[in-house]
Amino acid sequence: MAFNGHQRDDVSTDEDETPSKQPRSNTEMPGCFSSEHNNEASPPGGTPVSDRRTSNSTTRHRKDSVKKTRPPFPWFGMDIGGTLVKLVYFEPKDITAEEEQEEVENLKSIRRYLTSNTAYGTTGIRDVHLELQDLTLCGRKGNLHFIRFPTHDLPAFLQMGRNKHFSSLHTTLCATGGGAYKFESDFRKMADLELHKLDELDCLIRGVLYIDSVVSSGPSECYYFENPTDPDHCIQKPYTLENPYPLLLVNIGSGVSILAVYSENNYKRVTGTSLGGGTFLGLCCLLTGCSTFEEALEMASQGESTRVDKLVRDIYGGDYERFGLPGWAVASSFGNMMFKEKRESVSKEDLARATLVTITNNIGSITRMCALNENIERVVFVGNFLRVNTLSMKLLAYAMDYWSKGQLKALFLRHEGYFGAVGALLELLHPS
């Protein structure tokens, strides 16, 4: 039994009430040293001058060591999924006059192109609202940019890289996702680039933990919906992942993978399902004639799934009290579509809404069973299926809370589908 996705339409999300995360200390990439050091004076009778000189010499040696081992710019991480390609780019903001003079034109051209545009062609998007500013990575200060485009447009991206002579700056690109394997030969032939292929689940977890650790201002990276079963008082609230373990990590992309994470290096894939974001978009394209994810979501927001689904009350005339099943719960997804008169009365928007509810309910049901089996009470949902998809997030939050009687908390992350690409970038800068 599942939710019908109807009575949560009026759940409000008060974005303005989400307080900022408390600032943290400057966070570095593991294994890299900060370029900022304390210059506190030694107390009377403290460290001798000779020792301080030795310390300063050691500091300079560390800086030089980091400079020698870090890769040349540009710094990218890439996640090539079944539906979307996600790209993260680190833009250095501390370039010295000497570096700028020595910088080759190809590198300047790439930086200008990526940072001066918010759209690339007709389908590439830079998510400006997700940009992280003033990060320190391997001793360099800069901004982290988040870019996405459909996987079917990858040839255009490779042609752009060829036109801007990217291979003259790098011969290898760190990439994760299934596309890193599928399109490896295309990168080699079209852009003269080799791919350093990385495990997508390793990158996902590494990226989630890193992004949460460096977000220090603005909205909290992690959040949940307070009072998800009370539409009049449901609001978005921040949540800290400083002590995250154990947690269930549900990655909703084209398909779904569910991971039980016990520590940064101890996790397992519990299960998954082929019914994910790709299923939602594919079925919507078939049923409604839409062509984009955004269009499908817009149609779903205007629809009514109860005209399409068969509910418990359609079978029992009300609640099924013996097993505590409310009459509004879905008994059979698309169950009303077996009747001709019902089919003739539904709209494309109703079909889109029912498709969204069906996919979301299935994910929620499998997630709850996994949480019970693994004895985990904290569930984090990530992936591009949740991008601009508040409907599904609220439905998942309601389902986790309702069916677990408040024992399970559904958590969400602002950078949704970019964590794999972030993990690939971290591998470039600090190989594991």
- Which of 93, 85, 80 lies closest to 120 in space, CA to CA? 85
Q: Within a 13 Å sphere around the CA of 284, how many CA atoms are in the beta-carbon half?
A: 29
Cα distance between residue 323 and residue 333, in whole Å: 19
Q: What are phi and psi of 226, to 5 degrees?
A: -80, 140
Cα distance between residue 320 and residue 314, in whole Å: 11
One-letter amino acid identity for 177? G
Range list of H helices, 149-199:
154-163, 179-182, 184-191
Place of tokens 């980091």: 66
Q: Who contacts 147 (Cβ-Cβ below 8 Å, separation ≥6)?
A: 86, 87, 88, 89, 114, 120, 124, 125, 126, 127
Three-state SS at 103: coil
One-letter amino acid identity for 214? V
Q: Are 24 and 216 a contacting pair, CB within 8 Å?
A: yes
Cα distance between residue 412 and residue 417, in whole Å: 11
The residue from 200, 221, 349, 427 that is catalytic is: 200
Q: Which residues of 201-226 are buried (b: 16+ CB within 10 A; e: fewer)?
A: bbbbbbbbbbbbebbbeebbbbbbbb
Three-state SS at 344: helix
Q: Are 77 and 90 a contacting pair, CB within 8 Å?
A: no
Q: Who contacts 310 (Cβ-Cβ below 8 Å, separation ≥6)?
A: 330, 331, 332, 335, 336
Cα distance between residue 37 and residue 319, in whole Å: 65
One-letter amino acid identity for 71? P
Q: Are 91 and 75 a contacting pair, CB within 8 Å?
A: no
Query: Among this protein's residues, is 105 annotated catalytic?
Result: no
Residue 152 DSSP symbol? G
Q: Strand pairing of 378-382 and 330-332?
A: unpaired
Q: What are phi and psi of 277, to 5 degrees?
A: -65, -35
What are the residue numbers of the active site?
200
